[in-house]
């Protein structure tokens, strides 16, 4: 099916933390293959694999030194091919991360480019002269803190890096660079992958004039980057020209998909990057990967999406490897502890119109892990301590068993510590409990797949006030209403005709009235 990704549910795997097959404390490709039956049993349509490519791991794989090689930490290219076959044998699609905005500073391309201004790859990266006083070319601020510019004495120039200084930005204004990246895409498509998750896809092209970014006016900036609007180091119109080339390449290899990460992005940017047949198939931004938005703002974001054939298609995620797990992030915000909050948020996620991404462990209702400073690995967390502990709390190993090392590894110590609060939510324990979060997730996915309305139907907000969110999904004669109570107060809704309860978390239907205790939800079939 050409548009299989519309309404699909995909499961994100962070390889370092999924399953360790060789006892070195780090997850790997063989470990993923060994646990594919767990993924298949969820009922998802496929997986998104975070980077497993050769890398010095300064940003844990998002700093690639060879786009065509598997890092030995994760295995070999043969291991990936075996994993791909194992997934396809289970009718699971495989989407792989492609980090094209930047490379590792260890990449041979950059090592050559930095030597002088006349070599073959001299313009493969973004280089600029200093200002007359020796300061950087402009005021752009990097995501992890500090200027986006680092001095290279061999060239007597600065190079651009929107992230770590060891992640230099490729120059997408170069025809040769664009061609080289499209060749990377062809390599993996010919291996048989089903598409790409494109890391920071709105950061490919920089402003040719290197104009200063305007101030944001943020009264409480967490980092210098929050003090400016990233108008000129991201979201350039030429980026869409390159994405059209990627779309052409991907579409030329069958029923594949592209999903772009638009960082930090917004629903407006998602619509722009997915509109028509020459842009991304779908995209996600950070509207729901930050602080609890409240029902009014959430409803406004969801209602903005037009539903014409060329109006773009959204993707939604509440958790991933870059943010605190949603059960903690939103659960704490609304006053609902993670175990109770998990089914509420999962039901919401799986009721939305779009392509859905579930992050590993979300199906278990995992809270964000507590990682002490001395165990932190994330460079962002280490630099930001104690204001932030970075991203490690969402990256700890999946608990397969309720034991010291969680069934994840036979090593004496995993790369990140096991949080006991996560270990007690292990897969093995939840399998045996009929009302567990694991079984709830499976039931919600099965319901979505069996309902044309939930899978791909229209979306209309019915109510968004006083902590309640209600919306209708419709496709033909299939009419469904999804109702959520995010307040610590009882609520109720009355219907003209008694609906049928498809799924409920604490909500009870009495006659024509739906009773909604605090933090409850219901999915109803309307007559």
Q: Are 43 and 447 in contact (CB under 8 A)?
A: no
Angstrom distances, CA of residue 182 to CA of 47, 176, 185, 244, 246: 22, 10, 5, 11, 7
Between CA 158 and CA 152, with CA 174 as vertex, the angle to 5 degrees is 15
Q: What is the distance in angstroms between the CA of the first residue and the CA of the last residue of the chain?
A: 31
Active site positions, annotated:
199, 261
- HEC string of 115-178? CCCCCCCCCCECEECCCCCCCCCCCCECCCCCECEEEECCCCEEEECCCCCCCCEECCCCHHHH
Which tokens go with 258?
Answer: 């592209």
Q: Rounded CA gap, 521 and 443, in Å?
A: 14
**Number of neighbours of residue 373 by Cβ within 10 angstroms:** 10
Looking at the chain, the number of H-run helices and the number of E-run strands are 15, 21
Report the sign of the C-alpha dihedral through residues 491, 495, 498, 504, in that order: negative
Q: Rounded CA gap, 444 and 112, in Å?
A: 51
With a CB cutoff of 8 Å and minimum separation 6, the contacts of 133 are none
With a CB cutoff of 8 Å and minimum separation 6, the contacts of 500 are 524, 525, 527
> Of 116, 114, 16, which Cα lies nearest the Cα of 59?
16
Which tokens go with 419?
Answer: 């949080």
Angstrom distances, CA of residue 219 to CA of 216, 334, 366, 390: 9, 24, 32, 21
Q: In terms of DSSP bridges, do strands 282-284 and 257-261 run parallel, antiparallel, or are they unpaired?
A: parallel
Strand order in the sheet with 508-510: 491-494, 513-516, 508-510
Q: Which helix (H) or strand (E) holds 12?
A: strand 9-13
Does residue 386 have a cis bond before it (omega within 30 degrees)? yes
Q: Rounded CA gap, 128 and 106, in Å?
A: 20
Give per-residue burial for 213-231: e unless 16+ CB within 10 Å, then b. beeeeeeeeebebeebebe
DSSP-assigned states of every residue in 470-504: EEEEEETTEEEEEEEE-SSS-EEEE-SS--EEEEE
């Amino acid at each position: 099916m050409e548009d299989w990704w519309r309404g699909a549910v995909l499961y994100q795997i962070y390889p370092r933390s999924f399953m360790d097959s060789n006892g070195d404390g780090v997850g790997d490709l063989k470990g993923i293959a060994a646990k594919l039956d767990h993924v298949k049993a969820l009922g998802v349509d496929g997986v998104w694999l975070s980077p497993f490519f050769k890398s010095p791991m300064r940003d844990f794989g998002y700093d690639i030194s060879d786009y065509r090689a598997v890092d030995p930490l994760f295995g070999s290219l043969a291991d990936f091919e075996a994993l791909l076959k194992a997934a396809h044998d289970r009718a699971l699609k495989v989407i792989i991360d492609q980090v094209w905005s930047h490379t590792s500073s260890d990449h041979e391309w950059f090592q050559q480019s930095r030597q002088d201004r006349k070599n073959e790859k001299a313009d493969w990266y973004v280089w600029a002269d200093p200002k007359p006083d020796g300061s950087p070319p402009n005021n752009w601020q990097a995501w992890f803190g500090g200027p986006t510019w680092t001095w290279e004495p061999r060239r007597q120039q600065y190079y651009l890096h929107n992230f770590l200084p060891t992640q230099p930005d490729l120059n997408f204004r170069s025809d040769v660079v664009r061609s080289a990246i499209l060749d990377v895409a062809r390599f993996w498509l010919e291996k048989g992958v089903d598409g790409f998750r494109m890391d920071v896809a709105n950061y490919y092209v920089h402003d040719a004039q290197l104009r200063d970014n305007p101030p944001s006016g943020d009264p409480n900036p967490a980092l210098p980057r929050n003090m400016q609007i990233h108008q000129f180091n991201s979201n350039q119109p030429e980026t869409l020209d390159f994405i059209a080339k990627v779309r052409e390449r991907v579409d030329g290899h069958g029923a594949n998909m592209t999903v772009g990460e638009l960082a930090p992005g917004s629903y407006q940017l998602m619509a722009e990057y997915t509109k028509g047949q020459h842009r991304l198939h779908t995209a996600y931004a950070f509207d729901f990967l930050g602080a609890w938005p409240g029902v009014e703002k959430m409803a406004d974001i969801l209602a903005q999406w037009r539903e014409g054939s060329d109006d773009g298609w959204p993707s939604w995620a509440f958790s991933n490897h870059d943010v605190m797990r949603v059960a903690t992030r939103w659960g704490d915000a609304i006053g609902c502890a993670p175990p109770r909050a998990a089914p509420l948020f999962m039901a919401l996620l799986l009721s939305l119109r779009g392509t859905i991404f579930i992050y590993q462990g979300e199906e278990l209702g995992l809270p964000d892990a507590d990682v002490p400073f001395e165990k932190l690995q994330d460079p962002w967390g280490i630099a930001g301590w104690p204001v932030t502990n970075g991203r490690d709390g969402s990256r700890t190993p999946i608990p397969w068993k309720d034991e010291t090392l969680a069934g994840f590894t036979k090593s004496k110590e995993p790369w990140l510590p096991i949080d006991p609060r996560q270990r007690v939510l292990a897969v093995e324990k939840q399998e045996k409990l009929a009302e567990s979060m694991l079984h709830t997730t499976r039931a919600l996915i099965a319901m979505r797949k069996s309902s044309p309305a939930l899978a791909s139907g229209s979306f209309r907000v019915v109510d968004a006030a006083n902590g309640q969110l209600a919306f209708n999904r419709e496709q033909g004669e299939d009419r469904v209403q999804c109702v959520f109570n995010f307040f610590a107060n009882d609520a109720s809704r009355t219907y003209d005709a008694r609906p049928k309860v498809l799924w409920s978390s604490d909500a009870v239907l009495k006659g024509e009235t739906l009773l909604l205790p605090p933090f409850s939800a219901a999915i109803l079939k309307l007559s």
